[in-house]
Amino acid sequence: MIKTPILLLVFNRPNLTIKLLKVLSQIKPTSIYVCGDGPRKSVDTDVENVERTRSLIKEINWDCEVRTLFREENLGCKKSVSTGIDWFFDNVDEGIILEDDCIPDTSFFKYCEDLLFRYRDDQRIMHISGLNFLSKDTSMGDKESSYHFSKYPAVWGWATWKRAWGLYDSDISDWQNVRRNKDYYSMCFNRNEALVRKQQFDSVFSGEIDTWDYQWVYCVGMNHGLSITPNINLISNIGFDSNATHTFTPDNRSFLPSYEMIFPLKHPDNIVADYLCDYREYIEHIHKYYWFMALIRLLKRYGLYEYAYKIKSRLKSLFLHLLRG
């Protein structure tokens, strides 16, 4: 039985929520918090799907305290998720956080519970990830340990403490000063990553993007925090479809198989980020994003961006049409 409180972030996907609840029924946690955004007025099916999703929570039938925060109005991704996590940590000191499309192996919960206890008072550790999209590489991480430390906090199935979340600012209010002084360079491998991060944080600060997770990356990085990453993958994200907020198109992180963690956990000898593992993550994702940004800048320079954007929009529409059959 898992005693650590769990926060579920749900919205309008009952087909995914029911799969997550099925996993939870196997480990029977004693405390569940559920936060759900309100339906969008612009989407006709939202009212029905939001209600169907919320009704599933009433079917939890084991001995469990369930608390809900269901919005009447649609707040959007940034505000709904960030204030939902605020609400969670107004009530608990540590906990596990799962979005509806993040399906964990059942061993994920004990893994989080053990590490939340072990590093409860260690200010260096700010985040516990369940995701390791590079675990298919057998040379990933220290083979003698169950996990490694990283500077990259993955948020597809994770855990943290009230002490860490208390440093979070959804508006990254100090970004202009940090940007001017280039303080964010300290969280980056090199200039290329710094350019990617600058673009991400500019987009958040200006309100161009409606998200909450870049701000958490910013929070962990600017506080020189460490994340824990399992040396095997414990989470499968099954939410890459037309109903997703951001993850429309499957990529090499989608639908990854999850594995069972072996206990007792074997702990690393030193609390320091694993440089080789982090470098591989940088190459796999951030470095690729840098070259995508470089292409966008080139298109803009030669006046081709608007044309390319129209092509991208048409391809996305075609993809969604194919998904719907």
**Residue 48 confidence (pLDDT) above 90:** yes
Listing DSSP states for 108-146 in one string gives HHHHHHHHHHHTTT-TTEEEEE---TTTTSTTSS-TTSS
Digit-coded pLDDT (tens) for 56-110: 999 999 999 999 999 999 999 999 999 999 999 999 999 999 999 999 999 999 9
Which 3 state secondary structure label does DSSP give 102? strand
Position 307 confidence tier, pLDDT thresholds 50, 70, 90? low
Cα distances from 312 to residues 251, 300, 315, in angstroms, run: 16, 15, 5
The model carries a pTM of 0.88
User: For the chain, what percent of residues have pLDDT higher than 70?
Assistant: 84
CB-based contacts of 302: which residues, under 8 Å, 6+ apart?
none
Tell the CATH topology of 6-170+212-273.
Spore Coat Polysaccharide Biosynthesis Protein SpsA; Chain A (3.90.550)
Model pLDDT, residue 38: 98
Nearest to 191 by CA among 266, 272, 282: 282
